Amino acid sequence: MSTAEPVVCWFQECRKDAVERVGGKNSSLGELIHAGVRVPPGFAITTEGYRRFFHQSGLEGRVLDRLKGLDPTDMEALESASTAIRAEIEAVPFTLDFEDSVAEYYRRLSTHCCVPAVPVAVRSSATAEDLPGASFAGQQDTFLWVRGVDDVLHYVRRCFSSLFTGRAIAYRARMGFPHDKVAISVGIQKMANSAAAGVMFTINPTNGDRSSIVVNSNFGFGESVVSGEVTPDEFLINKISMEVIRRSVPAKEMYYAVDRVSQTCVRHDLPMERRAVQSILDEDLLELARMGKAIEKHYGQPMDIEWAVDNDMPTGGNVFILQARPETVWSAKKAESAPAPAAPKTAAEMILASIMAGKKLG
């Protein structure tokens, strides 16, 4: 294994061409930072760190042996193999060098944020998650409001093992991706103390209209929106006039936020008086839309964006982008243009065409 490649790097050291080193999610975060977009700070455990862990622990051969000959349609066998593989991965300790590297970056991140043991999101970032024609995104794990280096290391190991969920194993088999060619990176990102969060599309996902931005929002962390556990507020914004042209504010029954006693992310019931209240202020909504337009311009295509409004930051600097990826549904569809009518070749044909056009008008 190469020892020249680092096992940890800052987000700002990543660009969109670093997918093989830090996965799709982390490379996108680095690209956003270079584009001047407001992103919570953090660092990535690289695919070199993942591969070195697998190689040095002897897991590589044992995991591949378990995967040989599995039928991708036999979910019971896949889940059984997944459970065994994940338990084995999560039981293997990291080397002292690996732990020291992660601990030092986490200490420096905490110092930068002026928060001891800063709360972070630990997010999986697989190398194949944003490839054209594949949908790996969302197949690996994310853990919210993690504090302390021991817990960070624990959830890094959980992210590594999530590369071998039953669903991920089956999908790779169906898509023809060799299991030993797909690696994973892990992002350690300062947790936004979200007053509101959700997703934004710089295209209308219902009809492909590129003149609109659609924002979905709920109180607290964005997990309730991404997972579909709540019917979120929805806003349709005109990209040109930057006006909210349609808003829907349904009753929202729950949200995710930190429990200050246990210091963990937990589900809360929304009080009755807040359920039908708009979850994001209009000024934050329009700031978010402006950021969406800038991100779309930078990437040159419609984008699918996760965002948060940080409760601890002042208005005007409190809207953050958590991740951004190319929109895949409408972007994959080529516009179908109607065939142009054949031009008349003779004077007679021109006269006949004129007569027929007149009949249609009459």
Per DSSP, helices labelled H in 114-199 are: 149-161, 166-175
Do the strands 184-190 and 42-45 form a parallel or antiparallel pair, or are they unpaired? antiparallel
The residues, any chain, with a CB within 8 Å of residue 15's CB and separated by 6 or more, are 27, 30, 31, 34
Assigned architecture for domain 194-326: 2-Layer Sandwich (3.30)
**d(Cα 18, Cα 129) in Å, to the nearest integer?**
13
Model pLDDT for residues 172-227, shown as the tens digit of each residue: 888 888 888 889 999 999 999 999 999 999 999 999 999 999 999 999 999 999 99
Count CB-CB contacts under 10 A for residue 44.
31
Report the SS3 class of residue 156. helix
**Ranges assigned E (strand) in the chain:** 8-10, 42-45, 120-126, 142-146, 184-190, 194-201, 212-219, 233-238, 244-248, 254-259, 264-269, 303-310, 319-326
Q: What are the two backbone dihedrals, phi and then psi, of residue 218, each rounded to the nearest 5 degrees?
A: -145, 165
Summary count for the chain: helices (H), strands (E): 10, 13
**d(Cα 359, Cα 348) in Å, to the nearest integer?**
17
155 pLDDT tier (thresholds 50, 70, 90) = very high
When mean pLDDT is compared across 68-77, 193-202, 328-337, the lowest value belongs to: 328-337
The length of the chain in residues reads 362
How high is the pLDDT of residue 296?
97
CATH for 8-190?
A: 3.30.1490.20
For the chain, domain boundaries: 8-190, 194-326
When mean pLDDT is compared across 15-29, 265-279, 347-361, the lowest value belongs to: 347-361
* Residue that the structure tokens 């270079």 belong to: 34
Mean pLDDT of the chain: 88
Report the SS3 class of residue 200. strand
8 A C-beta contact, residue 302 and residue 331: yes
Count CB-CB contacts under 10 A for residue 181.
9
When mean pLDDT is compared across 2-6, 46-50, 234-238, the lowest value belongs to: 2-6
Count CB-CB contacts under 10 A for residue 94.
20
